[in-house]
Amino acid sequence: MIERFRFLILFLFVFSYVSASDDYGWLEVYNPVWKSQSRNSSESMPCGGGDIGMNVWVENDEIFLYLSRSGVFDENCIFPKLGRVRLSLSPNPFKDGKFRQELKLKEGYVEIESVQPGNKRTVISIWADVYSPVVEVSVSSDTETVLTATYETWRDKVL
């Protein structure tokens, strides 16, 4: 009986050490990566934090986000998307560029990358702030880039 107790204590000590020292680097092998743009929202990547949720995808050289927030219900007690955000970049980094979209599970964000001829690289990172209901977008580019964000709603009147 004492041997079993010693083994249990040793097992719990080793398990807690391994759990505490784990940096979740093993998650990186499970990051979904897409090499082409989506056809529509059905091929979106989920992303979120706190009480904000998003579906993120790139379609026809534009970035789209469906937004949701916990606790929001419509008149039918359904949990709807709040609307869509369309992000356009000028000059367009996706035209003739090598496309890559990755969901970074460990860090909790979507990274969209385009490398154009001449190794001109553009990286767009999208994440939700877990401490406030805010979606953040970061653009890093080798060329001067203008980002235009447009909010689109399909709920323009109260029923």
pLDDT digits (tens, 9 = 90+) for 9-27: 555 555 555 455 567 888 8
Q: What is the pLDDT of residue 159?
A: 59
Cα 86 to Cα 2: distance, rounded to the nearest angstrom: 65
Sheet with strand 52-59: strands edge to edge: 45-49, 52-59, 62-69, 83-90, 146-152
Helix (H, G, I), strand (E, B) or coil at 80: coil
Average of per-residue pLDDT across 134-139 = 96
pLDDT digits (tens, 9 = 90+) for 81-122: 888 999 999 999 999 899 999 999 999 999 999 999 989 999
Q: Tell whether the model's pLDDT for residue 80 goes beyond 70.
A: yes
pTM of the model: 0.81
Residue 46: both structure tokens together = 């989920």
Cβ neighbours around 128 below 10 Å, total: 22
Residue 12: both structure tokens together = 């719990």
Cα 122 to Cα 112: distance, rounded to the nearest angstrom: 8
